[in-house]
């Protein structure tokens, strides 16, 4: 039987507060004893950086498809584009881990339930382009007025975490 793991996206343009919200959500859910897996989309156009001066970095640079460092309580993995070349494949791979929830920062165009974070009026185009929007947040309360979504202020993220969690975890 395939395990179903709730998956939720936090999307918005650069400097909209995505990482701040992700950190708050991770703390919130881990404090409820849930194992959280995260995926961060690297949409900056440059290659990912990893420590090339380590043994595993040298293995990777030499052409290893997968290079891992395994410690007593941690695993660090580098993987050349392969089985995880799409978000869907990566999420399926995460299902093999003991995670209770997957949070995705970015991957705007994916069709998972999501919250959209707005910086200014020009960001409204995201609300027209994206699908499966459950929540909209912003530092500017005026941007949230009249929207056909449940909204929240980024000025008090800690206070609205229970509201946000109801859109992520269905009891």
User: Residue 86: pLDDT band by 50, 70, 90 thresholds?
Assistant: confident
Mean pLDDT of 84-88: 75
Mean pLDDT of 12-37: 95
pTM comes to 0.87
Query: In what side-by-side order are the strands of the sheet with 114-118?
Result: 36-40, 101-105, 7-12, 114-118, 133-138, 150-153
For residue 50, give both structure tokens. Answer: 């990893």
**pLDDT score, position 2:** 59
Domains, the chain, ordered by start: 7-46+81-168 (3.40.50.300)
């Amino acid at each position: 039987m395939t395990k179903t793991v709730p998956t939720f996206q936090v999307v918005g343009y650069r400097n909209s507060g995505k990482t701040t919200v992700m950190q708050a959500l991770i703390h919130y859910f881990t404090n409820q004893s849930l194992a959280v897996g995260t995926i961060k989309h690297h949409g900056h156009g440059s290659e990912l950086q990893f420590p090339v001066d380590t043994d595993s970095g040298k293995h990777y640079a030499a052409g290893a498809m997968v290079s891992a460092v395994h410690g007593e309580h941690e695993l660090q993995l580098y993987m050349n584009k392969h089985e995880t070349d799409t978000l869907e494949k990566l999420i399926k791979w995460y299902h093999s881990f003991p995670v209770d929830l997957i949070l995705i920062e970015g991957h705007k165009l994916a069709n998972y339930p999501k919250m959209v974070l707005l910086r200014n009026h020009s960001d409204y185009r995201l609300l027209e382009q994206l699908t499966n929007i459950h929540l909209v947040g912003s530092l500017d309360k005026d941007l949230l007025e009249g929207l056909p979504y449940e909204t929240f202020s980024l000025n008090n993220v800690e206070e609205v975490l229970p509201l946000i969690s109801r859109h992520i975890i269905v009891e």
